[in-house]
Structure 1
Amino acid sequence: MRTLEQLRLDNPLLTPQQMAAWDRWTIDEFGLPEELLMENASRVALDVLRERFPRVGAPGAPDCLEGKRVLLLAGPGNNGGDAVALARHLLDNGAVVLVLTTKSPEAYKGTAQKHLEYAQKAGVPFGFIQIADWLRPMDQLPEEYGAADREGFCDIIVDGLLGTGFSGELRDDYKTWVQAINKIRDRAFVLAIDVPSGLDGSTGKPSPVAVRAHATVTMEAAKTGIALPEAEPWVGRLEVRRIAIPRAVRFAQPVQRALLTDAVASLVDTPDPAMHKGTAGRVCIIGGSHGLTGAPVLSAITALRAGAGLVTIACPGGIASEVKNGQPECMTLPLGEGTVLVPEMYSELEERIPGFDALLLGPGMGRDPESARLLKRVLAQENRPPAVVDADGLFHLSQRPSLLGMLTDRDVLTPHPVEMARLVAAVDTMDESSAMERYTENRIALAEGFAERFAPCLVLKGAGTVVAQKLAGNDDPTSFLCPIACPELAIGGSGDVLAGLIAALLGRNDRNSPPLPAACLGVYWHASTGRILGRSVPGRGAMAREIAHALPQALKELIHAHSQGHHDHGRGLG
């Protein structure tokens, strides 16, 4: 079984500045020439196009790109150099290519200029983007090309105008070019090199417009902005390809941010043949109140579907029958006789709590201040197991921020955006709307900042869930982005399912182990289940309990995909 540290090294998530540092280290310290890196980048871009246009017929049939008309747009930087080098390979593969530059070829500098000279020697034709006729984009081909090529439309557009170093707002001329590309994208396949031009590589936001690519090939490692689910309309299918930057750079220039992929399946433990229900994880869910009996039941069903051996719902005695009704697999622990959790019930819990392997605090708990006092007593118990705090448990933390100090580095918080804004507002003494703006601006940075200050593992839910925790011995928090966004999961009860899933995984953990691996596995497993429901129950018709019931099948598919060497980033072709 691989470790989370190995997954972080295999799937780093870089800012544009970190990628630039990797490039510089590779060139200056390791000694690989930049010219070679640019050549490799162009080769992997060629591979992506070959995969998009596969060879048809028996061995010996024409190359898949032969005869394809390809328009390549080359800016003045290294992205433009990648596009120019790609043009040479496409020409060698029988494609009809035309490179439109933003400056005269003589104005190109450095490595991009070298590859431009190679392309010119190879016979690649060049033109100027400023005089492009976007209705006849190949018309700047030389006269020796036939009228069919010069007057016909292109099959492929390669965007090499701007790279990951771009920030700020596009100049007017670039806006015009980007908008022209987007108007004709329905007639040609658009491949962006490294990042779609106009998209901020850090935030994933257009500035104010960006190329809407069908696929983006990014070099060596995913960049934060293009991995975010909200960037998919511009990124399309995200292809991460290695270009021979040595793995040693990941140790010399380490990053603490990574991308979750199907490889997270390697964190799944193989069940011990001698396992029994008492060793498969004992989970206690403390929650439920009048009118809120469904949430703890959903969490309990999920914990069982995720492999927990024994699941108990500790709830007010006045609703115990309602909670138990129709759930023979779940045990109940009735507390008192009322319908609200109150601190006096702690005496019935205190001796039982150490016998559980994981707690889930909050589903259906309600917002009565007395329930917060019970929560405080449970958190303060020294011999308690790790806890997941969700739903109303998070509300009580936001109303009493001092309770955050009772959480340990074995615990997990699972807020959705509004709950996160409420927590941030409480600890930073600001209004919730300002805290929500911080979430909207950069939720990864918000999660990392929270993890820097507080011990628990944070699971910041949403379309592109972020998991973050500061691990012992590290200067900065370690964070993982789940790039999957599933509308099927945007339903009431989905969060209760995720909380129950993480609690079940914590229940199989060593009590002294950090919860970050279990949280990452739970988040990606939950998101993958949403994709399955998108196929089996279309139209967002699935209910929360169906997410729970689909978990075993989702895990089977996840393990199979990983065993086949697939490393899906949760992206479909745009």
Structure 2
Amino acid sequence: MKVFSKEQIYEGDKLTAERQNISSTDLMERAGTQIFNWIHMRMQGAQVPIHVFCGIGNNGGDGLVLARHLITHGYNVITYIINCSDKRSKDFLINYDRIKNVTKDWPKMLSCGADFSEIVIEERDIIVDAVFGIGLNRPPNDWVQELFQRWRASKAFTLSVDIPSGLYTNKAVEDENAVVYANYTISFQSPKLVFFLPETAKYTVQWEVLDIGIDRDYLMQTETEVELISKFEVLPLYKPRDKFAHKGDFGHVMILGGSYGKIGAVNLASRAAFGSGAGLVTAYVPKCGYHSLQSSLPEAMVITDKEEAFIANIDFGIVPSVIGFGVGLGTAPETAKAFEAFLKNNKTPLVIDADGLNLLSKKKALLQLLPEQTILTPHPKELERLVGKWSDDFDKLEKAKTLSKKYNVIVLLKGANSITVYQDKLYINTTGNPGMATAGSGDVLTGIISGLIAQGYEPLAATIFGVYLHGKAADISLEDYGYQSLIASHIIETIGEAYIDLFKQPEQSQEQEGQQEKQG
């Protein structure tokens, strides 16, 4: 799914009005009606008080359309206008007149500085936030902030229209008290990038996209900087197997890592490489890892370094398809020297994780030696060592883009919504869960991505697909183990089920079944 920027959304609205021969007011009517339909389907006329707070721009206009439809369908609605400026949008004014024609209870005008004592909101009520939209470019004033805090204190269910008020689409929040904390956000046509970033995702617990009929050609043809990755985006990447294929067709992964006490990381990565479909896997480890790997993973081949406890001399007589480097490696001085010598001669595709990243951060000149489209898989601290501290999530993304462009590498930012960064493009993953916050989960990911590259997937496709499979396998494992008991080995065990799930049809919801019954 494409994630459109604020500027692209404005352009899409404009082109839609032109190509469909409708006015911007008609498009607003369409958007507000879609929100009403969403609410009406769930509430079915329930007489819970609904407090609709509208700004005086287009987001407020959407709120007025919604309020009008709620009123005409018999809901218990109280509408408010947050009147803190003389700059009212044309479509807001048109819908302000329209709502006055359907009710004697005109919207309550709340001018800046007004007393809030007459506004009574109970925990069982519903708040609709239609105050500020995507056009916000400065923090709300203190009076509006106080209103938002009153909403939060009420504990009433809060539904935001398009984006929680006070949240920007393209920059960080200055004051968290100036943003609405929404239980649910209905986003028009496309989610917003801020729904997926650690510092801003907390402002909406859940979100959903509503189709408001933006021009299809525009949506299909417009290139976006951000893409949301789900099953439907990764399914076209999948490479089916030929009936007469053999193990040599699916590549040879080398997992190069391990040190005394950390051979398990190599075991996990190697098992995951097999689990993702690699034909052959060789583990390159210090001598101390030989017996444990040969006995615990009989499918893998093992090559050992001359040293007992760490890697000091990377030398092997095979030609792997890809090398997953760094898991459990350690950063001993001898290992650092071996890594540098290896990079000076290596032409094999690389996936670098863990201590491989730490070695790069200690001597950043080594980044220039990486093959094109090497995949770096840092968690936040490893990224910080590579690019320095960042001021906020947007600054972090810019630093990751700079790193990607400077060295032509793929940077995978691991997190709740892992983001693959390549050049100026961001690919946001949608699978995974908090149970993955466990030792070895990253090693498994390194193995999965390496296994995909070995099978012939391009590095970017392997990263996007690998992150999806990794998260989906963990989601499947969650059903049996829960968040607390999920371990990295469980993720490996369900990679196969994650593949199978790609071809399962989505189960029909009760809501969809009900709609079909009505249509029938």
Which TM-score band (shorter chain)?
A: 0.7 to 0.9
Matching residue of 1:208: 176
Deviations 1:462-517 (A, max 9, x none): 232210113xxxxxx2211225563211112111111111111111125xx4x112
**Secondary structure in structure 2 of the residue aligned to 1:302:** helix
Partner Cα separation in structure 1 for residue 389 and residue 437 of structure 2: 19
Aligned partners of 1:201 and 1:223 also within 8 Å? yes
Aligned partners of 2:194 and 2:201 also within 8 Å? no
Counterpart AA for 1:468: V
Matching residue of 1:268: 238
**Secondary structure in structure 1 of the residue aligned to 2:456:** coil
Partner Cα separation in structure 2 for residue 439 and residue 66 of structure 1: 42
Counterpart AA for 2:130: G
Matching residue of 1:299: 269
Query: Structure 2 vs 1, CA of residues 178 and 333 (structure 1 numbering), >3 Å: closer, same or farther?
Result: same
Matching residue of 2:452: 505
Counterpart AA for 1:73: F
Match of 2:487 among 521, 524, 543: 543
**Secondary structure in structure 2 of the residue aligned to 1:114:** helix
Matching residue of 1:236: 205
Q: Does 1:360 align with 2:324?
A: yes
Alignment of 1:92-103 (within 5 A): 92-103=72-83
Query: Structure 2 vs 1, CA of residues 202 and 185 (structure 1 numbering), >3 Å: closer, same or farther?
Result: farther
Query: Structure 2 vs 1, CA of residues 260 and 254 (structure 1 numbering), >3 Å: closer, same or farther?
Result: same
Aligned partners of 2:54 and 2:60 also within 8 Å? yes
Match of 2:370 among 386, 404, 407: 407
Stretch of structure 1 that moved more, 157-166 or 193-202 = 193-202
Matching residue of 2:335: 371
Matching residue of 1:461: 414
Deviations 1:89-133 (A, max 9, x none): 223333232211123999743111112222222337322344555
Partner Cα separation in structure 2 for residue 251 and residue 380 of structure 1: 43
Deviations 1:411-454 (A, max 9, x none): 21111111111111xxxxxxxxxx23346553322322222212
Aligned partners of 1:315 and 1:333 also within 8 Å? yes
Tell me the TM-score normalised to structure 2 length: 0.88
Q: Does 1:88 align with 2:54?
A: no
Alignment of 1:154-233 (within 5 A): 155-186=125-156, 189-203=157-171, 205=173, 207-209=175-177, 210-233=179-202
Q: Does 1:338 align with 2:328?
A: no
Matching residue of 1:40: 30
Query: Structure 2 vs 1, CA of residues 236 and 48 (structure 1 numbering), >3 Å: closer, same or farther?
Result: farther
Deviations 1:263-286 (A, max 9, x none): 234122223222222223321111
Tell me the TM-score normalised to structure 1 length: 0.80
Partner Cα separation in structure 2 for residue 538 and residue 252 of structure 1: 41
Partner Cα separation in structure 2 for residue 173 and residue 27 of structure 1: 36
Aligned partners of 2:172 and 2:393 also within 8 Å? no
Aligned partners of 2:58 and 2:89 also within 8 Å? no
Query: Structure 2 vs 1, CA of residues 77 and 463 (structure 1 numbering), >3 Å: closer, same or farther?
Result: same
**Secondary structure in structure 1 of the residue aligned to 2:101:** helix
Partner Cα separation in structure 2 for residue 154 and residue 543 of structure 1: 39
Matching residue of 2:93: 113
Counterpart AA for 1:391: A
Match of 2:428 among 449, 470, 481: 481
Stretch of structure 1 that moved more, 191-200 or 29-38 = 29-38
Q: Which runs of 5+ in 2 are unaligned?
A: 510-520
Aligned partners of 1:439 and 1:446 also within 8 Å? no
Q: Which has the higher contact order (CA 8 A, sep 6+)?
A: 1
Counterpart AA for 2:126: I
**CA positional deviation for 1:371:** 2.2
Q: Does 1:50 align with 2:14?
A: no
Stretch of structure 1 that moved more, 98-107 or 40-49 = 98-107
Matching residue of 2:228: 259
Q: Does 1:136 align with 2:83?
A: no
Counterpart AA for 1:498: L
Alignment of 1:272-287 (within 5 A): 272-287=242-257
Aligned residues between the structures: 503
Q: Does 1:78 align with 2:68?
A: no
The alignment yields a C-alpha RMSD, in angstroms, of 2.9
**Secondary structure in structure 2 of the residue aligned to 1:285:** strand
Aligned partners of 1:264 and 1:520 also within 8 Å? no
**CA positional deviation for 1:215:** 1.0
Match of 2:279 among 287, 309, 316: 309
Aligned partners of 1:48 and 1:217 also within 8 Å? no
Partner Cα separation in structure 2 for residue 365 and residue 564 of structure 1: 47
**CA positional deviation for 1:304:** 1.4
Aligned partners of 2:326 and 2:353 also within 8 Å? yes
**Secondary structure in structure 1 of the residue aligned to 2:91:** helix
Partner Cα separation in structure 2 for residue 268 and residue 563 of structure 1: 22
Match of 1:392 among 355, 368, 373: 355
